[in-house]
Structure 1
């Protein structure tokens, strides 16, 4: 059996393991899928009428809610990774001659899949609430690619945070900034309507160009500048997360 086929087999086993853990953890399922829907209903039905965005609020907010759905599911990944590390699960895998890379890859892949499920739920509820996108089939494909790229990047960064944390509790807390960033972006109101200081932060943080790219794809007014910035941020975050995760894993495992 070649090294590549062994790594793929081990990765598929780790993926099945992590999927089972996610399904058996109702809190993780709630945070990843149901909580973003609750926030969506609250913002659109309770606060939406107070915001002036130049279009239907559900059309404006849905791209930001997709990003929020991704960020809200990251805490489960960080705590699962840290739990594996601190409880000696990784050491048992080493004794069993399981590929080390498959352990990390399994967490990243299941995070990406969980994010896709959450985003599908958000889109389904958005349509039920009157979402009316102008996207073509190619635009939808681009939006899916953007979501997968962001989920993959966030997955690696979260795995790195989980490995670096000393306890399961601190691993969960480490993802709070990623959860809060969508609130300080153009997810719910245009950045240029914000006050000084907050506006500049919103304009230059990573989630804003990602949200604007999704909004442009779904509403038919994509800006190439936002798209390039979004891809650059995702690739950069994925690279930082991967290198950080691999370095920490080699030191601690």
Structure 2
């Protein structure tokens, strides 16, 4: 088998990277349109989870406020995890089907093929978030956020989705089959359960409580809940989200940079193997 030699990346190529990324974003959108089942599941699953938590579990859980008010931010992050798992599968399919080899033979920055998947994942998750919020409002969710708080909540969702999509990108370029990528990706679906997403951490066993209180998703949840409905982890009103929001954004930035860098390193290692 002929091994492709690395193509030098000069300043002109770097300036064209934005154009290459735009092309790959368009390609990822076209792939999404050709797979309507994934698109349907991305819309149906979030609303099903929301209805399940509100009408099946909500009546048995006492938080001090309507359970839909407490749980909706957590459902948003669950849906983002599902979207990230699909991204890991899509990237792995490109890695194993020969598509990446074809991209590397073209005069483009080949890493933008992975970047295209990441951008489209973020955009699809924003659409899913809007659907979840619309359904939540229809069944009783009443956010109290002003325009600035809505802007902050959207920014928090974007930061979180970008972070877990970078994790998914690393999974996609590392594993050897789409099935394995889906399996690893779905692990991210379970992390919000062991956080303050659906119950206060103080209700958990002591050995689990420490993890729930200090894992990265908890400050993201608390920031979203505080911005949208002005409530804290215990369901009581909060007045200062500064430190919590800073911690949430710090976690997202750290995860994004570490996993994006690791994905690029693994991608290049597999590139010439």
Bin the TM-score by the shorter chain. over 0.9
Are residue 35 (structure 1) and residue 45 (structure 2) matched? yes
Kindly provide the CA deviation profile for residues 186-242 of structure 1, in whole angstroms up to 9, marking residues without a partner as x: 111111111222222211111111001100111123532321221111011101111
Is the Cα contact below 8 Å between 1:32 and 1:70 reproduced in 2? no
Which residue in the other structure is 2:190 paired with?
Answer: 180
Spell out, residue by residue over 1:92-125, the C-alpha distance to the aligned partner (whole angstroms, 9 max, x if none): 0111222123112101100101110110011000
What is the CA–CA distance in structure 2 between the aligned matches of 1:101 and 1:110, rounded to whole Å? Answer: 15
The answer to whether the Cα contact below 8 Å between 1:31 and 1:72 also exists between their aligned partners in 2 is: no
Q: Which runs of 5+ in 1 are unaligned?
A: none
Give the structure 2 partner of residue 86 of structure 1: 96
Cα distance between partner residues in 2 of 1:163 and 1:95: 18
Alpha-carbon distance between aligned partners in 1 of 2:257 and 2:171, rounded to the nearest angstrom:
14
1:116 paired to 2:126: yes
Q: Does 1:160 align with 2:170?
A: yes
Q: What is the total number of aligned residue pairs between the two structures?
A: 253
Runs (5+) with no aligned partner, structure 2: 1-10, 231-237
Match of 1:143 in 2: 153
Q: Deviation of residue 5 (structure 1)?
A: 4.4
Structure 1 window deviating more from structure 2 (189-198 vs 119-128): it is 189-198
Deviation at 1:3, TM superposition (A): 2.8
Q: Which moved more, 1:33-42 or 1:18-27?
A: 18-27
Counterparts of 1:23 and 1:184, CA distance in 2 = 34
Residue 34 of structure 2 is aligned to residue 24 of structure 1: yes
8 Å CA contact 1:15–1:107 kept in 2: the answer is: yes
Question: Does residue 8 in structure 1 map to residue 41 in structure 2?
Answer: no
CA contact (8 A) 1:7 1:101 kept: no
Match of 2:244 among 226, 232, 235: 226
1:238 aligned partner: 256
Question: Which of these two proteins has the greater Rg computed from alpha carbons?
Answer: 2
Structure 2 Cα separation of the partners of residues 96 and 223 of structure 1: 48
- Structure 2 counterparts to residues 89-104 of structure 1, below 5 A: 89-104=99-114
In structure 2, the residue matched to 1:45 is: 55
Distance 1:150 1:203 in 2: 17
| TM score, norm. by length of structure 2 | 0.89
Contact 2:86 2:185 (C-alpha < 8 Å) held by counterparts: no
Map 1:53-64 → 2, pairs under 5 A: 53-64=63-74
TM superposition score normalised by structure 1: 0.95
In structure 1, distance between residues paired with 2:241 and 2:200: 15
> What RMSD over aligned residues (CA atoms) do the two structures have, in Å?
1.5
Q: Which has the higher helix share?
A: 1
